[in-house]
Structure 1
């Protein structure tokens, strides 16, 4: 075959090959553009699709419809106490506001009260509370903060110093339980576990190896708090906690010849005129001394039981993580206030996981 013919045939074959390659590239580009367009459309649809939150909890109306025992086991208060707290919140400005215009409907007052009590009685996060009560996290946080402030305002009405008749009644009760006269209460300190604060964090490390704030509690013969002091760092000793508390400067007027029962942390001389403590067991105590120590401990255990019941009923106080120091103080003050509110009526202890052995004075 003529070389020129061979060359022409080869060139024609190359041109056909190049045309096929160009067609393939064009088809590939079209496919890529279609895929990108489809992806963009899917993304736009997802962006425009309304977000449906998955709510795993039950409605507030179901809480309120429970029988009395179940209601109290969840809310920690009786229905009468719940209604009192609900009415108090209403008078303090937490009542439902009529809906004006758009937006989500307002949260009913009863739901706010139930949400706050659920927060205090459990260690759920705001995400879990949001799901439980079908509200947003910001709404749940706003309601809890407002309720804490309002309960702290009620503290002065529930944590009160006893009058003379109440002192006499308490002294008779302690005399029956521990054979000691003129005793009107027991005093002790208690650690509330917290997250390490950003400032002066080492000061909040207690001798047990975790960060905490302290609460000094004084209770009567029934375990009802008659005076509390909350907030000092966990590193502070119980004796120093008493000295810096407001009660210490008012002790002469408030005690008027009466005594508290305390442990050996209050054995200092300047406490002896109003706190009765056991003697330190150095191995040389007489049988009478050991008997006296037993009697004092028998009466003093009421304050440890009070702390244990408070932490059992309002489990939020067991561990306050991701919470500012000011909010920690408010939570503890609110728990003591609600504890005293519970003391006004018969309270059925929560059976599941309560009390815990480290609730007394953790």
Structure 2
């Protein structure tokens, strides 16, 4: 084989390899697009199912006011307490001395938010970090609020919690 034919064969081989790379890249891109499509489709179906059940799923960064707007069944499912009982508890805790207070120049945590954080802590197995993320508060403020509510609850608990006898 003479030099020109060798050069032409080398160029043809290089072009063939480049074409194979392009085809492989397009195939991989197509697979990625299909995976992304499947993921989005799956999310859309899950969202549709959840919305059809009218359930509120709490995620990080959820504004705590949304928790107060839940329907009774969803509220009870998340906090293990009925809304009417929550309002009674809120009143009792306020009478027991729970109030909003300023700390280090930050805006105070509202009393209902403190009670909701306490109930979430008692009803779920979340850490202070997870609760603070969910309620948009610092970890120290979350810890302080839960401790305040727990301290008052230990004093008025017999009026609110009924323990089994015998």
State the partner residue of 1:142: 144
State the partner residue of 1:104: 106
Instruction: Write the distance in 2 (CA, Å) between the matches of 1:70 and 1:125.
Output: 21
Higher relative contact order at CA 8 Å, sep ≥6: structure 1 or structure 2? 2
Q: Aligned residues, how many?
A: 108
| Maintained 8 Å contact 2:129/2:139 | yes
SS at match of 1:113: helix
Aligned 1:274-289 pairs, distance under 5 A: none
Aligned 1:335-346 pairs, distance under 5 A: none
Aligned 1:143-182 pairs, distance under 5 A: 143-158=145-160
User: Is 1:63 equivalent to 2:1 in the alignment?
Assistant: no
Aligned 1:82-97 pairs, distance under 5 A: 82-97=86-101
Candidates 205, 225, 234, aligned match of 2:163: 225
State the partner residue of 1:130: 132
Aligned-residue Cα RMSD (Å) equals: 2.2
Instruction: Write the distance in 2 (CA, Å) between the matches of 1:65 and 1:93.
Output: 25
Instruction: Write the distance in 1 (CA, Å) between the matches of 2:73 and 2:80.
Output: 10
- CA positional deviation for 1:94: 1.4
Instruction: Write the distance in 2 (CA, Å) between the matches of 1:56 and 1:226.
Output: 36
Unaligned runs of 5+ in 1: 1-54, 160-223, 228-259, 261-362
State the partner residue of 2:10: none
Instruction: Write the distance in 1 (CA, Å) between the matches of 2:164 and 2:124.
Output: 25
Instruction: Write the distance in 2 (CA, Å) between the matches of 1:74 and 1:122.
Output: 8
| Maintained 8 Å contact 2:76/2:82 | yes
Unaligned runs of 5+ in 2: 1-58
Aligned 1:37-76 pairs, distance under 5 A: 56-76=60-80
Q: Which has the larger radius of gyration?
A: 1
TM-score normalised by the chain length of structure 2: 0.59
Instruction: Write the distance in 1 (CA, Å) between the matches of 2:113 and 2:147.
Output: 15
SS at match of 1:77: coil
Instruction: Write the distance in 2 (CA, Å) between the matches of 1:112 and 1:141.
Output: 10
Q: Indicate the structure with greater helix content.
A: 2
